[in-house]
């Protein structure tokens, strides 16, 4: 049984750490004690099968794991557990040999840095908080800016329609006035020429 606790960087702030916890319970294979099963989990319905490739009492355990969950079928990898804060390098040859049994290369492993980092100074902490607030505020302003732009575009369209209506009304009025003037001129021309023709 493992009561696990680990820290990850806050996915939003990017710098602050969030602590996560879980309890993993394994059942040993009845015929092969080097195989451990962790099945029937509620979170993502995951199932992990652990294969102990090598171990040295109170020094290290090499675990090769395969598993699946609702999001990923067939994940796997390997990990070396040790009580020492840094992996004891004298065990590299035997761990290398153990992981090669399952097609892995020791050179592909990454050594974990388990040293405790010094706390940030108050100034650094303040700067990180300020960066976080600016990022959030920037996102909020962007959303509000987009909303304002949409409102302005909508108002511009309404205004354009109103202007089009006004222009059409003016054009119709001008056409009406032009027709009225043409009729007046025609009437006057007929009157003038009608009298002139009548006198002859």
Residue range 7-19: mean pLDDT, rounded: 69
Are 94 and 23 found together in one domain? yes
Return the higher-pLDDT residue of 78 and 14.
78
Q: What is the pLDDT of residue 200?
A: 45
Q: 36: closest CA among 5, 69, 60, 1?
A: 1
pLDDT at 146 over 80: no
Mean per-residue pLDDT of the chain: 79
Are 161 and 64 found together in one domain? no
Return the higher-pLDDT residue of 179 and 16.
179
Q: 136: closest CA among 19, 8, 10?
A: 10
Q: Is there a contact between 128 and 15 (Cβ–Cβ < 8 Å)?
A: yes
Domains of the chain: total: 2
**Which region among 35-44, 109-118, 163-172, 191-200 has the lowest average model confidence (pLDDT)?**
191-200
Are 127 and 107 found together in one domain? no
**Which region among 105-114, 129-138, 166-175 has the lowest average model confidence (pLDDT)?**
129-138
Q: What is the pLDDT of residue 99?
A: 95
Q: 95: closest CA among 112, 83, 107?
A: 107
Are 198 and 130 found together in one domain? yes
Burial 35-72 (b: 16+ CB within 10 A, else e): ebebeeeeeeebebbbbbbbeeeeebebbbeebbeeee
Are 36 and 70 found together in one domain? yes
Spatial separation of the C-alpha atoms in residues 144 and 149, rounded to whole Å? 9
Q: What is the pLDDT of residue 91?
A: 96
What's the CATH number where 64 sits?
2.40.128.20
Are 65 and 37 found together in one domain? yes
Are 91 and 140 found together in one domain? no
Are 49 and 142 found together in one domain? no
Spatial separation of the C-alpha atoms in residues 22 and 34, rounded to whole Å? 23
Residue 19's domain comprises: 2-117
The full DSSP string for 48-69 is EEEEEEEEETTTEEEEEEEEE-
User: Which of the listed residues 94, 117, 140 is the one where a domain comes to its end?
Assistant: 117
Return the higher-pLDDT residue of 102 and 133.
102
Are 146 and 172 found together in one domain? yes
User: Which of the listed residues 98, 117, 136 is the one where a domain comes to its end?
Assistant: 117
Residue range 67-89: mean pLDDT, rounded: 89
Are 77 and 95 found together in one domain? yes
User: Which of the listed residues 117, 134, 166 is the one where a domain comes to its end?
Assistant: 117
- pTM for the full model? 0.52
Residue range 105-111: mean pLDDT, rounded: 92
pLDDT band at 117, cuts 50/70/90? Answer: low
């Amino acid at each position: 049984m493992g009561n696990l606790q680990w820290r990850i960087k806050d996915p939003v702030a990017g710098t602050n750490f969030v602590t996560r916890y879980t309890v993993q319970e394994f059942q040993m294979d009845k015929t092969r004690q080097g195989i451990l099963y962790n099945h029937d989990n509620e979170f993502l319905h995951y199932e992990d099968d652990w294969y102990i490739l090598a171990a040295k009492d109170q020094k290290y355990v090499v675990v090769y794991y395969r598993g699946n969950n609702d999001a990923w079928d067939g994940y796997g990898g390997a990990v070396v557990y040790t009580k020492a804060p840094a992996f004891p390098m004298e065990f590299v040859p035997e761990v290398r040999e153990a992981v090669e049994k399952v097609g892995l290369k020791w050179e592909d492993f990454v050594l974990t840095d388990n040293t405790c980092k010094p706390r940030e100074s108050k100034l650094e902490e303040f700067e990180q908080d300020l960066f976080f607030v600016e990022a959030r505020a920037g996102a909020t302003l962007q959303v509000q800016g987009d909303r304002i732009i949409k409102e302005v575009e909508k108002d511009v369209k309404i205004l354009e329609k109103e202007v089009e209506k006004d222009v059409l009304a003016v054009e119709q009025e001008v056409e009406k006035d032009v027709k009225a003037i043409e009729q007046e001129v025609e009437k006057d021309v007929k009157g003038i020429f009608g009298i002139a023709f009548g006198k002859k």
